[in-house]
Chain A
């Protein structure tokens, strides 16, 4: 498979996973990423239809992603609600609302319609390349900057970072907002960058794939990006494997990223990898 094509198809999952990695580094597991991608895709469709400009659609997707991330942050950071619960609710809400609005506008047929796309087929996709940059940049910011260090500390031991004069909740909020932005753009890219259409529940589990990729990539953005390419390649291989009559069932190939991630976790354990305070609500001691 042509590598440039693979890159484009891997972009939504990769971009979302990079954002998820930043959030998880800050100690927030965003189960709602699936819903943020879907809402981003829907917003992109609406904005693109209204303006005829898919780039505005992309921006709308990012904006909606941030808005949902802030909503989630309100529940998990302000109210100290359970992250898994809030994220699950956000997913349901997003699938429900976009699906209902879509049915009301276009009927229950779930018909796809063609939207103007970001770039013509075959042309280089700036978002696909931007995702590589985002991965490198996220890695650099997390590992080499003062802010990145503070974010990681907020995910490891928030009490310590508070003692150092930072606001752990604010750091987490910033990381979550970045995750929402990237998830929204990722969904929008799926709609106006790849498919040129919207369909009910079109994200179809990619958000959960992104969460899995963060684990597979060991919470390191560039590795996470590589993992996304690998998953995209394994998915594309299913057609070829069948045609070639490969002895290995292609399902094993498709399951391999998740199996490898599990195997790594079994062998290494949490090790030094997963942020220690992942999914643990932080309440400041008064």
Chain B
């Protein structure tokens, strides 16, 4: 009940933030909201855009939930997204002869493993060398971007060797599309399955329980003899796997090839999505749908008002700060109660 109330509170706060942002920039509120809603849900194409944009947000956002709940501030979602996709492209090249329905899952597995490996390295650095993941994941983001630049001009470049791009995947290897006219692909279901899996993992399994204990109260974790280091490395590895998988879904669902334009900051954008979703899988599901819709709808707004995704970023920034401020205010209230 309390969770439902908090959820309704955040949801109305998000809508309010949208309205306030429009007012602050002096935009016609009714008309702008109308355009955004129409662009996000009004047509089949819009709806498909919304879902397709929500998909990487959801996957990376779930990744953030797992890592942050364990006290690992993974901000390397972007790098894990890239390295995952690179691992996928490498597998696609290795097994180029395989039939599509067989190759696609192989690629997706590779992307998850690639992201997990990079993230696990950052986790190991923190646990055994005392290097905070905040710092190491920033460093690794740069390394990943350079690796992408190198790969698409080197070992993974297209056979023609003209453009800095990988070969385009054949259509059979791509994720299924509901209608070739629209972007909507089966990756949406992969993301939803991941949502269910993360939810079950965090709330029903022993490993998920340990993860939360380590993040919330290291002292209790020690008393319970929970191996904190191993748990944290596992958490960030899972987080990286989800971000890598997001890269794989984007690769085999949308772009079909990799180039320097492939990273679209989904890994960064997932952080506010995860925070506003209350670091809870269901909350992240709703938040990613909301921001996916805003991104899709703001494309429509761009055509009329000349304003695009920057509006969405503003909303994310304001909402996170408001959320943080409210949280601090509530905690102060709780502490005052304790003292009374």
Contacts and interface: CB of A to CB of B under 8 A. Distances in A.
Interface of A: 29, 31, 75, 79-82, 84-86, 88-101, 103-104, 107-108, 200, 208-209, 211-212, 215, 249, 251-252, 254-255, 258-259, 261-262, 265-266, 269-270, 274, 278-279
Contact of A89 (B132, B302, B317, B329): B317
23 contacts: A31-B75, A85-B275, A86-B321, A86-B324, A89-B324, A90-B317, A90-B321, A93-B321, A97-B317, A99-B313, A100-B307, A100-B314, A103-B306, A103-B307, A208-B138, A208-B141, A209-B142, A212-B135, A212-B142, A215-B135, A262-B139, A266-B125, A270-B129
Contacts of B314: 92-93, 96-97, 100
B321 A89 contact: yes
Select the residue from B131, B149, B154 with max chain A CB neighbours within 10 A.
B131
B324 A85 contact: yes
Contact of A249 (B134, B150, B311): B150
B162 interface: no
Given A79-B325, A261-B139, A265-B129, A88 B75 contact: yes
Given A251-B146, A270-B129, A100 B272 contact: no
Interface string B228-246: 0000000000000000000
B8 interface: no
B215 interface: no
B7 interface: no
B143 A108 contact: no
A251 B149 contact: yes
Given A86-B321, A93-B317, 13 more contacts: A79-B329, A80-B328, A81-B324, A84-B73, A88-B75, A89-B320, A92-B314, A93-B314, A103-B308, A200-B310, A209-B142, A261-B139, A266-B129
Given A88-B320, A274-B132, A96 B142 contact: no
Interface in B296-340: 302, 306-308, 310-318, 320-321, 324-325, 327-329
Contacts of A80: 328
B321 A254 contact: no
A31 B141 CA distance: 14
Contacts of B275: 85
B313 A92 contact: yes
B142 A255 contact: yes
Contacts of B139: 212, 215, 258, 261-262
B195 interface: no
A208 B134 CA distance: 11
B261 interface: no
Select the residue from B73, B140, B142, B308 with max chain A CB neighbours within 10 A.
B142
B25 interface: yes
A283 to B, nearest CB: 10
Interface in B156-175: none
Closest 5 CB pairs of A and B: A93-B317, A96-B314, A99-B310, A96-B313, A270-B130
Interface residues of B, number: 47
B158 to A, nearest CB: 17
Nearest to B318: A93
Contacts of A254: 146, 149
Select the residue from A82, A212, A279 with max chain B CB neighbours within 10 A.
A212
Contacts of A84: 73, 75, 134
A257 to B, nearest CB: 8
A252 B149 CA distance: 10
B136 A265 contact: yes
A29 B134 contact: yes
B268 to A, nearest CB: 8
Contacts of B25: 100-101, 104
Contacts of A249: 150, 153-154
B106 interface: no
B271 interface: yes
B33 interface: no
A242 to B, nearest CB: 10
A188 B318 CA distance: 24
Nearest to B25: A100
A84 B274 CA distance: 13
B147 interface: yes
Contact of A75 (B125, B149, B312, B324): B324
Contact of B308 (A108, A255, A266): A108
A72 to B, nearest CB: 10
B39 to A, nearest CB: 15
Interface in B193-223: none
Nearest to B139: A258
A85 B320 contact: yes
Given A79-B325, A100-B25, A269-B130, A95 B146 contact: no
Contacts of B134: 29, 31, 84, 279
Interface in B111-135: 125, 129-132, 134-135
A255 B307 contact: no
Contacts of A108: 302, 306-308
